[in-house]
Structure 1
Amino acid sequence: MRRTMRRARRWLYVVHRWIGIGTCVLFAIWFLSGLVMMYVAFPQFTDAERWAALPPIAWDKMQLTPNRAMEVAGFTHYPRDLRLAMLNDEPVYRLLGWDGARKTVSAADGRVIDRITPEQAVAAARLYPNAVNPEIIETVERDQWSVTARFDPLRPLYLISLADPGGTQLYVSSRTGEIALDTTRTERIWNWLGSIPHWIYPTILRKDGATWRQVVLWISGICMVAAVTGFWVGILRLRLRRRYRGGAVTPYRGWMAWHHIAGLIGGVFVVTWMFSGWLSLNPGDFLAGRGMAREMAVRYGGSEAPHMPAGFLSGPKPDGPAAVEARFVWLGGKPLVALTGRDGGRCTLDPETGIVTQVPEERIFEAARRLMPDDIMTMRLRLDQPDAYWYSHHQQRQLPVLRAGFDDAAHSWFHIDPVTGDILGRTDDSRRTYRWLFNALHSLDFALLLGYRPAWDAVVWLLSLLGLIVSLSGVVIGWRRLQR
């Protein structure tokens, strides 16, 4: 037994030493890039930015009803999304099918729009708030910032420089004329030190999502082995009672001592951080969330026929604030038009009369009951303040919000916009577990720190510096070992 234990301990040291030599540089990169990501996120085009770049809807140019737009686009069922906005000076319907098909139909003359000229793309870019003198740089199929598959229906993309002081560049779809993404010079520079090394995100790898996921899973899994074995070795070599010569708790000196002590102090953080990072890729799909199925949306809306009354288009125009986007939706069997202004302000109106109306919460909950007709609704809640599962930290969460919960096997919750009735998201036991195993362990989203950004920054910086000490000392130790 003693011989077996000595052999096992020996292998523990050997595994940590050689895996550590191979991964300590990665650890250092991850801790440094994680600090950058606290302040500069990967470029994305938010709804607020999209609304700010749209002109008010020219209702007087409307000649096509939503029904006719669905017919022209070839939809035999009500689409997943049907909205009206401007393409430069022309109102257009944008339709998204449940199979992912996108169609753009002119509301002025009914033609299907499937190609945008460079001049039209530049005209769309001129409406962006930061635009100075937009001009096309090139047409890109895929690059570092537009690498993910969600841009596929919009490709190829016109890359347009706005010539503003911030070096803003827009990606405009050559198919639909929509602005798909914006980046600034600051984002592009800092992301090469932040998200790209942190997520192992080079374009050549990330363009194949399945391959990228497997590569990162294996790399982070091996690094997790290095973290666990290192913490274990650190505990075995620590002496608090029968100390080493000179009263030291560690047998090491110099860089080895820094590595040992910092690893013990920050070891739990390093291990949980590695584990949660590995878990973020959802190995085995154990924590896969359940989304909104088409059948649920149909039950919630109460209609799937390609029909939407729009009497207001031929009568008095909407009397609400100037809208840059109109969404035609069904809620509990009744039609609604949800209007959004350039500043993000929202209201709903009756599509027959054009009169602004308020959706009663009781009506929303009654419609939500149909989402899961075989299960009992056990929760009807209005959140005016954030809680542990609905909060703004790394992404902006809308408040107030309604929460409808059910007693199904997964204990599903649906979060719903009380103004428009839009379902903002679905969460269940799997996603709530993910919230604690990833958001809490990896991003330190704990109640004591949420909402207290300076305190959160200080804690993350302190723990990251401990991780850096462990990593950089490991780099030095590994380099010396290799030299020998």
Structure 2
Amino acid sequence: MSASNAATRPALGKFARRWLYLIHRWIGITSCLFFAMWFLSGLVMVYVPYPSLTPVERLAGAEAIGWSAVNVPPRFDNGRLPRELMLEMRDGIAVWRVTGWDDAQTTVAASRGAVLRPVDASYAGRVASRFVNAPAERVARLQRDQWTVGGGFDRHRPLWKVSLGDAPGTEAYVSSSTGAVVQATTRHERFWNWLGSVPHWLYPTVLRQDQVAWRQVVMWVSGACIAAAVTGMWIGILRTRVGKRRFKGGRVSPYTGWMLWHHVAGLVGGAFLITWIFSGWLSVDPGHLFHGAKPDDVAMRIYQASDPMPAVSLERLRAVGKGAVKAQIIDNAGTPLVLLSYSDGRRSTLDATTFLPSRPASQAIVNAASRLAGFAPLLSITHLTSPDAYWYAVGTLPQLPVLRLRFADPTRTWMYIDVATGEILLTVDRRQRAYRWAFGLLHKWDLNALTVRRPAWDLLIWVFSIVGIVTSISGVWLGYKRLAR
């Protein structure tokens, strides 16, 4: 090695180390503010999630079907089912709600001569008041607000926001297209979400309403924070001495005061911090790396409406449907059924011809699903009565039992199918399964072994979050002191 090369290497090392410190110092000042916000808001989200109207809440607030006035039979598309066909109440009138395979939605009165009232302010007030069982105080028409900014509400816009006079301070949102309540929030949820989901997801309406801009902001902010975390961990290791080469007084760290807190907390929780912010960056799926394949509409139409439907007897339906708030006609896996749902969450599945309790045969589900998977070889059939790594829910149990089918198609598809109705509840391919671990596990630590044994999961989240908060707050204070100088 020449003398010039020998002299260059220490110089390059010094130059690289200087930039390592500069990147961490100046990016870290801002990133620690974000880290502190994310850890604190994440703890709030553990106990108060973003508001959403669950299926159970929709049923609990729905009217019981007025069967005596139902005399209009369901509409079929050339004898076959549309994508969705259900009977429910709409402002005191029984209606058939139809969703076609082109996603077009229509609402038809189930009583001859009935006139469907327009979805105006008066209508919205009545429906929301009946849904919550409280008087309506104010009604406003809007396109979106903080609790309806997501794309899932687009087909319901404009929305009617109804403020109700109940103790929880409920605000309900009524769809202008279907006339149904599609969202509801309470004063408690709104307050805590301004401290939880809104800052954690960088979710203010002005930003979130532009999907492209919001994704870019999340990716770039998270990317800068990843750089701060990685450089900080690197520096933390460089400035740690163990063994015989310790710092003065036998200490492993050269720092004192806030710098010592920052150094030690960063070392203890550094790996967690890096994986956590990296998984947060993955939450918006940069480059759509984990975008999975789904069965196309033609294949789904064969699965859900393969044969002409038999005539449904309204007289017999009225006889068995007493007390139901929703009646769906379905035909999954070549098995025509009537699914009745009740306000207490119960449901019953009946043969669409005999109206006796019925369900699809397991073999019929397997045969139809195999067609949906392109007749790929079936690797396994599992009857799940408890959650697995992909069919699960935090804090509760998912719908069970289900059939899990694993196929040897090019994307290695897994299907989770409701054994009672034949409905395909979830499909995951190899990319989506990878995303479950890269994002779900690393960001939420939502292993069933922990989430079904709470507070074990809560304890883990709190321990790591406290370490992250100490790292972040100490970094904010050190950054402030640096800027003040």
TM-score bin, normalised by smaller chain = over 0.9
2:42 aligned with 1:39: no
Give the Å deviation of 1:385.
Answer: 1.3
* The one of 109, 118, 122 aligned to 2:112: 109
Q: How does 1:435-450 map to 2 (within 5 A)?
A: 435-450=436-451
Deviations 1:441-470 (A, max 9, x none): 111123542311111111111110110111
Greater shift after overlay, 143-152 or 331-340?
331-340
Structure 2 partner of 1:89: 92
Matches of 1:302 and 1:98, distance apart in 2: 11
- Residues 64 and 108 of structure 1 are in contact (CA less than 8 Å); yes or no, is this contact kept in structure 2? yes
Structure 2 partner of 1:279: 282
Task: Give the direction of change, closer, same or farther, for the CA distance of 1:114–1:2 in structure 2 (3 Å limit).
Answer: farther
Structure 2 partner of 1:173: 175
Matches of 1:411 and 1:111, distance apart in 2: 50
AA at the equivalent of 1:125 = A
- Residues 136 and 158 of structure 1 are in contact (CA less than 8 Å); yes or no, is this contact kept in structure 2? no
AA at the equivalent of 1:152 = D
Give the Å deviation of 1:154.
Answer: 1.0
Q: How does 1:47-66 map to 2 (within 5 A)?
A: 47-66=55-74
* The one of 149, 152, 158 aligned to 1:150: 152
Give the Å deviation of 1:338.
Answer: 1.4
Matches of 1:109 and 1:210, distance apart in 2: 47
- Residues 114 and 175 of structure 1 are in contact (CA less than 8 Å); yes or no, is this contact kept in structure 2? no
Structure 2 partner of 1:136: 138
Task: Give the direction of change, closer, same or farther, for the CA distance of 1:314–1:451 in structure 2 (3 Å limit).
Answer: closer
Deviations 1:206-265 (A, max 9, x none): 011111011111111111111111001100100112111111111111111111110000
- Residues 115 and 175 of structure 1 are in contact (CA less than 8 Å); yes or no, is this contact kept in structure 2? no
Classify the secondary structure of the residue corresponding to 2:292. Answer: coil
2:482 aligned with 1:481: yes
Structure 1 partner of 2:5: none
* The one of 300, 303, 308 aligned to 1:300: 303
* The one of 15, 28, 42 aligned to 1:20: 28
AA at the equivalent of 2:168 = G
Q: How many residue pairs align between the two structures?
A: 476
Runs (5+) with no aligned partner, structure 1: none
Q: How does 1:71-470 map to 2 (within 5 A)?
A: 78-109=81-112, 115-128=118-131, 130-241=132-243, 242-303=245-306, 308-315=309-316, 317-319=318-320, 322-393=323-394, 396-470=397-471
Task: Give the direction of change, closer, same or farther, for the CA distance of 1:111–1:79 in structure 2 (3 Å limit).
Answer: farther
Matches of 2:438 and 2:50, distance apart in 1: 22
AA at the equivalent of 1:443 = K
- Residues 59 and 313 of structure 1 are in contact (CA less than 8 Å); yes or no, is this contact kept in structure 2? no
AA at the equivalent of 1:247 = G
- Residues 272 and 441 of structure 1 are in contact (CA less than 8 Å); yes or no, is this contact kept in structure 2? yes
Greater shift after overlay, 468-477 or 353-362?
353-362
- Residues 105 and 111 of structure 1 are in contact (CA less than 8 Å); yes or no, is this contact kept in structure 2? no
Task: Give the direction of change, closer, same or farther, for the CA distance of 1:118–1:152 in structure 2 (3 Å limit).
Answer: same
Matches of 1:400 and 1:245, distance apart in 2: 63
Q: TM-score, normalised by structure 2?
A: 0.93
Greater shift after overlay, 111-120 or 240-249?
111-120
Greater shift after overlay, 55-64 or 414-423?
55-64
Classify the secondary structure of the residue corresponding to 1:66. Answer: coil
Give the Å deviation of 1:316.
Answer: 5.9
Give the Å deviation of 1:276.
Answer: 0.6
Give the Å deviation of 1:481.
Answer: 0.9
RMSD: 2.1
Give the Å deviation of 1:17.
Answer: 0.8
Classify the secondary structure of the residue corresponding to 2:318. Answer: coil
Structure 2 partner of 1:67: 75
Matches of 1:23 and 1:77, distance apart in 2: 56
Matches of 1:291 and 1:127, distance apart in 2: 38
Q: TM-score, normalised by structure 1?
A: 0.93
- Residues 217 and 278 of structure 1 are in contact (CA less than 8 Å); yes or no, is this contact kept in structure 2? yes
- Residues 387 and 397 of structure 2 are in contact (CA less than 8 Å); yes or no, is this contact kept in structure 1? no
Give the Å deviation of 1:378.
Answer: 1.8
AA at the equivalent of 2:19 = W
2:7 aligned with 1:4: no
Matches of 1:83 and 1:209, distance apart in 2: 32
Task: Give the direction of change, closer, same or farther, for the CA distance of 1:87–1:339 in structure 2 (3 Å limit).
Answer: same
Matches of 2:317 and 2:458, distance apart in 1: 53
Classify the secondary structure of the residue corresponding to 2:26. Answer: helix
